[in-house]
Amino acid sequence: MLSYLLRRALYALPIMLGVAFLCFMLVHIAPGDPLVSILPPDASADLQKQLMELYGFNRPLPVQFFSWVWRALHGDLGTSIATGRPVAGEVIKAVGNTMMIAALATLIGFAFGALFGFVAGYMRGSWIDRAASLVSVTGVSVPHYWLGMVLVIVFSVKLMWLPATGAGPDGSDDWHWDWAHFQYLVLPAVTMSFIPMGIIARTVRALVADTLSQEFMVGLRARGLSEFALFRHVLKNCAPTALAVMGLQLGYLLGGSILIETVFSWPGTGFLLNAAIFQRDLPLLQGTILVLALFFVILNLLVDILQTVFDPRIERG
């Protein structure tokens, strides 16, 4: 099995290289001069040339690519054109913030989603099943940034229980684990949790219904196993796939948090991305996308490996 895991990990390498290549090419397919955002329109040709050399935009593309990858491997993602600070530092901090709401959202989504899914799967065809179906369809269909807005309207504007935007009182960036800060976490995380909730509810429901209908369950019941023991069997069968879906959802939320972070002005990677796009801050844009995409690839790899380890039905070798 070790050889299979090794091969699987090895297989992720060309993917990561491809991802890096795509990240790199993204900013270069943009029409126009990469420097157009930072240069004042009346800049002299000399200044232009200077900056081109400084940023390396005058070298041939393959060279730029490899030097970028090389530096990235050493932790250097360049310097932000807008702020002048190293990109890596900004991204790391932002990732931490995003991870907070993403992880919380995944947990909430998984908890409720699994609950609904289990109930629906057990009571197939009943009104509970239909209700749970409704919840899951809603979770999958709702435009989450709009949901965020609605929650802000209800809880911030009307009820004034929770703050509308930001990550800390007075827009501060430092985090402390107290209610003053935690209350900023609630709305974004809850909003985000609807997406995994819907998907996990749907998946778990299908899994539970499928497992319950399998013949071995009839056999177990015929041998007199209690419903609770049967329930544990169902749990064991559904767990690997459900956990895999949860892992994938976490990865998805990490990468796709930009819309929610925009609504709540949450200083995470999405927010950073937004800023990078509008300021045409290319190093920041490249660095952020690269980190997010690679995170997703690695997370997928982990989920894949864990699934192989824990699910005896998957073939290895």
Partner 1 sequence: MTTTITTTGDTAKPLATPLRSRGHGANVLRRLVRNPQAMLGATVILILLIMAVAAPLLMPADPFAASMFNRLKPIGTPGYLLGTDELGRDMLSRLILGARLSLFMGVTPVLLAFGIGGAIGIMAGYAGGVLNALVMRTIDVLYAFPSVLLAIALSGALGTGIGNALVSLTVVFIPQIARIAESVTTQVRRSDFVDAARASGASALTIVRVHVLGNVIGPIFVFSTSLISVSMILASGLSFLGLGVTPPNPEWGLMLNTLRTAIYVQPWLAALPGVFIFATSIAFNVLSDGLRAAMEIK
Tokens read off for 58: 């005058």
Rounded Cα distance, 149 and 119, in Å = 30
254 is a contact residue toward partner 1 (CB under 8 A): yes
| Strand blocks (E) in 69-207 | none
Which one, 34 or 86, has the nearer CB to partner 1? 34
Q: Are 284 and 88 in contact (CB under 8 A)?
A: no
277 is a contact residue toward partner 1 (CB under 8 A): yes
14 is a contact residue toward partner 1 (CB under 8 A): yes
Which one, 114 or 152, has the nearer CB to partner 1? 152
Tokens read off for 203: 């998946």
CB of 257 to partner 1, least distance (A): 8
166 is a contact residue toward partner 1 (CB under 8 A): no
Give the number of other CB atoms < 10 A from CB of residue 36.
11
Applying CB under 8 A, the span of 10-18, 77-85, 92-100, 218-226 interacting with partner 1 comes to 10-18
Rounded Cα distance, 71 and 78, in Å = 8
Rounded Cα distance, 115 and 314, in Å = 26
Q: How many residues bind partner 1 (CB under 8 A)?
A: 48
Which one, 240 or 255, has the nearer CB to partner 1? 255
Q: In 225-250, which positions are buried (b, 16+ CB within 10 angstroms) versus exposed (e)?
A: eeeeeeeeebeebbebebbbbbbbbb
Q: Contact with partner 1 (CB under 8 A): which of 48, 274, 307, 308?
A: 274
CB of 219 to partner 1, least distance (A): 26
Q: Are 223 and 138 in contact (CB under 8 A)?
A: no
Q: What does the binding site for partner 1 look like in residue numbers (CB under 8 A)?
A: 14-15, 18-19, 21-23, 26-27, 29-31, 137-138, 140-143, 145-147, 149-150, 152-153, 157-158, 251-252, 254-256, 258-259, 262-263, 273-274, 276-278, 285, 289, 292-293, 296-297, 300
